[in-house]
Amino acid sequence: MAKNYYEILEVDKSASQDEIKKAFRKIAHKYHPDKGAGNEAKFKEASEAYSILSDEKKRQQYDTYGSAGPNQGGGGGFNPGDFDFSGFGGAEGFDFGDIFGDIFGGGGGRRQQQKRGRDIQVDIELDFKDSIFGTTRKVLVSKDSTCASCKGTGAEKDTETITCAKCGGKGHIKEARNTFFGQFMTDTVCSECKGEGWIPKTKCKECKGAGVRHEQEEINIEVPVGIENGEMIRFPGKGEAVSGGITGDLYVKVRVKKHSLFRKEGTNLYADIDVKLTDAILGGEYNLETLEGNLIVKIPDGIQSGEVLRIKGKGVPYSKNGSRGDVYLTVKITTPKKLSKAARKTIEELREEGL
Ligand SMILES: [Zn+2]
Ligand SMILES: [Zn+2]
Q: Please, which residues bridge with residue 142 across strands?
A: 216
Say how many Å lie between the CA of residue 162 and the centre of ligand 2. 10
Say how many Å lie between the CA of residue 203 and the centre of ligand 2. 15
Q: Give the pLDDT of residue 43.
A: 80
Whole-angstrom Cα distance, residue 190 to residue 243?
A: 12
List, for residues 104-160, the tens digit of each pLDDT value. 444 444 445 678 999 999 999 999 999 999 999 999 999 999 998 988 888 888 888
Tell which CATH classification among 1.20.1250.20, 1.10.287.110, 3.10.560.10, 3.30.2270.10 matches the domain 5-83. 1.10.287.110
Answer whether residue 6 shows pLDDT above 60. Answer: yes
Say how many Å lie between the CA of residue 202 and the centre of ligand 1. 11
More confident residue, 21 or 92: 21
Ligand in closest contact with the CA of 170: 2
Query: Which DSSP string do the residues of 36-78 spell out, in sequence order?
Result: TT--HHHHHHHHHHHHHHTSHHHHHHHHHHGGG-TTTTTT-S-
Whole-angstrom Cα distance, residue 162 to residue 155?
A: 11
Say how many Å lie between the CA of residue 199 and the centre of ligand 1. 13
Q: Give the pLDDT of residue 301.
A: 97
Say how many Å lie between the CA of residue 21 and the centre of ligand 1. 46
Name the helix (H) or strand (E) containing 19: helix 17-31
C-alpha distances out from residue 267 to 79, 147, 252, 297, 307, Å: 72, 43, 22, 20, 21
Largest CA distance in the chain: 120
List, for residues 31-40, the tens digit of each pLDDT value. 776 666 677 7
Do the two domains 5-83 and 263-352 of this chain adopt the same fold? Answer: no
CB count within 10 Å of CB 312 equals 9
Q: Which amino acid is at 354?
A: G
End-to-end CA distance of the chain: 102
Say how many Å lie between the CA of residue 205 and the centre of ligand 2. 20
Ligand in closest contact with the CA of 159: 1
Q: What are phi and psi of 17, to 5 degrees?
A: -60, -35
Tell which CATH classification among 3.40.50.10540, 3.40.50.12780, 2.60.260.20, 3.40.50.720 matches the domain 263-352. 2.60.260.20
For residue 231, what are the contacts with CB-CB under 8 A and spacing of at least 6?
A: 253, 254
Answer whether residue 96 shows pLDDT above 70. Answer: no
User: Which of 125, 188, 197 is CA-nearest to residue 165?
Assistant: 197
Say how many Å lie between the CA of residue 101 and the centre of ligand 2. 21
Name the helix (H) or strand (E) containing 340: none
Q: Give the pLDDT of residue 109.
A: 41
Say how many Å lie between the CA of residue 57 and the centre of ligand 1. 55
Q: What are phi and psi of 296, to 5 degrees?
A: -85, 120
Average pLDDT, the chain: 83
Q: ∠ at Cα 343 (339, 348), nearest 5°?
A: 105
Q: How confident is the model at residue 227 (pLDDT cuts 50, 70, 90)?
A: very high
Whole-angstrom Cα distance, residue 271 to residue 227?
A: 19
For residue 94, what are the contacts with CB-CB under 8 A and spacing of at least 6?
A: 21, 54, 88
Read off the pTM: 0.57
Say how many Å lie between the CA of residue 150 and the centre of ligand 2. 19
Say how many Å lie between the CA of residue 263 and the centre of ligand 1. 50
Q: Give the pLDDT of residue 34.
A: 67
Ligand in closest contact with the CA of 192: 2
List, for residues 144-197, the tens digit of each pLDDT value. 999 989 888 888 888 888 899 999 999 888 877 777 777 777 888 888 887 888
For residue 176, what are the contacts with CB-CB under 8 A and spacing of at least 6?
A: 86, 183, 184, 185
Q: Poorest-confidence range of 62-66, 110-114, 179-183, 232-236?
A: 110-114
Q: How confident is the model at residue 72 (pLDDT cuts 50, 70, 90)?
A: very low
Give me the percent of the chain exceeding a pLDDT of 90.
50
Asked if residues 317 and 225 have their Cβ atoms less than 8 Å apart, the reply is: yes
Q: How confident is the model at residue 322 (pLDDT cuts 50, 70, 90)?
A: confident
More confident residue, 81 or 319: 319
Burial class (CB in 10 A: 0-12, 13-18, 19+), 100: buried
Asked if residues 27 and 6 have their Cβ atoms less than 8 Å apart, the reply is: no
Give the domain ranges of the chain: 5-83, 263-352
